[in-house]
Amino acid sequence: MRCRSASAGRSESDMLRPEFAAALAKAGEAHTLAREEIVLLLGAEGEEAAALFRAADQVRAAHLGPEVHLRAIIEFSNHCARNCLYCGLRRDNRRIRRYRMTPQEILAAAHRARQGGYRSIVLQSGEDPGFALDDLARVVKRIKETLDVAVTLSLGDRSRDDYRRLRDAGADRYLLKHETADPALFARLRPGTTLESRLERLRWLQELGYQVGAGSIVGLPGQTCETLAADILLLQSIGVEMAGIGPFIPHPDTPLGSSPPGSTDTTLKVLAVTRLLLPHTHLPATTALAVLDPDGRRRALAAGANVVMPDVTPAPYRQHYAIYPGRSRPQGEGEASFARWERELRAIGRQVGTGYGHILRRGSPRGS
């Protein structure tokens, strides 16, 4: 998807259009834009795209510094009761080998990650009613009691009471991407559910005291540039602490298997504009970007991102967490290695974040 009409009519090497430069300056200073201005920025090509990425990088540096937070992700179950049209874990996909790690296996994986250097663990799964909530709450409690790490959950839609019990067990954060701000597209792609109920859950999570993450998929069939702008404005109106923004990657065993993938460039532009409007929010260089483009994570880190979520799911499970193809260890076997990430980040002038990587208090400049 290109967010620019042919009638804009300038070659990619041209200087910045005056209206583009004005919107970019406004975003960098006031961190607010109207929807048309966001669409204008998303239409950046050539010099304009380079200027957009630079501006996002500057806002990231000014508000968050050089630190990149590493969050080790453990994908502990690929069972899913939902049937999202884009996802390989969907209920009707019979070609996937299902697994569910035991609480002991999850604890062991978390221990290994902590020993390797990680201070932040993400537990993710399909919407798996077969994993007892009591067991899950015990796993969270045990990790919090024994490991001195931040715990993020990403388990999809659950009841308010479930969220409360997991929060009581010690979970710090919850990732629940809104996926798309277009209610009709949301309902079509996630049968049996609505954008409204997703947003209601995000509110519950905030009320329960979680640090909350939402985010979207870029390049879904039927999406428009206006929708991408609405995604960004929605993140801003929710006031998220984290936002995962990744390209759509078609999975052959889903109804969207023959749709084209999202574009890396468009995803980077959505990420960059999000950084301009949400200067304090944690924005990962997503795995999906790394799968589409071997250089995708580095490019994202240079366009506003300040988080990487290495996959530390143990073998033999990780290959079966096939949300989309190509996911298993995008950086090869070194993907899970904290030490390797330290080296790679140093090589691009960044450093691993110390501590848990909680969000800085909104509105407070860095260091105050």
- Out of 43, 156, 213, 221, the only residue in the binding site for ligand SAH (CB under 6 A) is 156
Nearest approach in angstroms of CB 125 to ligand SF4 is 7
Please enumerate in sequence order all residues whose Cβ is within 8 A of that of 259, keeping only pairs 6 or more positions apart, or say none: 221, 248, 250
Minimum CB–partner distance for residue 197 and ligand SF4 (Å): 13
Q: Which of 63, 119, 251, 318 binds ligand SAH (CB under 6 A)?
A: 251
Cα 215 from Cα 223, distance rounded (Å):
15
As measured in angstroms, the least distance from the Cβ of 198 to ligand SAH is 9
Question: Tokens 């929710």 identify what position?
Answer: 238
CA quadruple 248, 253, 257, 263: dihedral, nearest 10: 20
Q: Is 89 exposed, middle or buried (0-12, 13-18, 19+ CB in 10 A)?
A: buried
Q: Please provide residue 150's backbone torsions phi and psi, each rounded to the nearest 5 degrees.
A: -80, 145
H/E stretch holding 277? helix 264-277
The partner in contact with residue 90, picked from ligand SF4, ligand SAH, none with C-beta cut-offs of 5 to 8 angstroms by kind, is ligand SF4
Which of ligand SAH, ligand SF4, none does 249 bind, CB closer than 5 to 8 A by kind?
ligand SAH
Q: Considering beta carbons, is residue 86 or 186 the nearer one to ligand SAH?
A: 86
**Site membership for ligand SAH, residue 126 (CB under 6 A):** yes
Strand partners of residue 216: 179, 245
Site string for ligand SF4, 137-176 (x = CB under 6 A): -------------------x--------------------
State the minimum distance, in angstroms, from the CB of residue 177 to ligand SAH: 4
Element housing 180 (H / E): none
Nearer to ligand SF4, 20 or 186 (CB): 186
Which two three-digit tokens encode residue 107?
């604890």
Q: Which of 282, 290, 307 is nearest to 246 (CA)?
A: 290
Give the binding site for ligand SF4 (CB under 6 A).
Answer: 80, 82, 84, 87, 89-90, 126-127, 156, 323
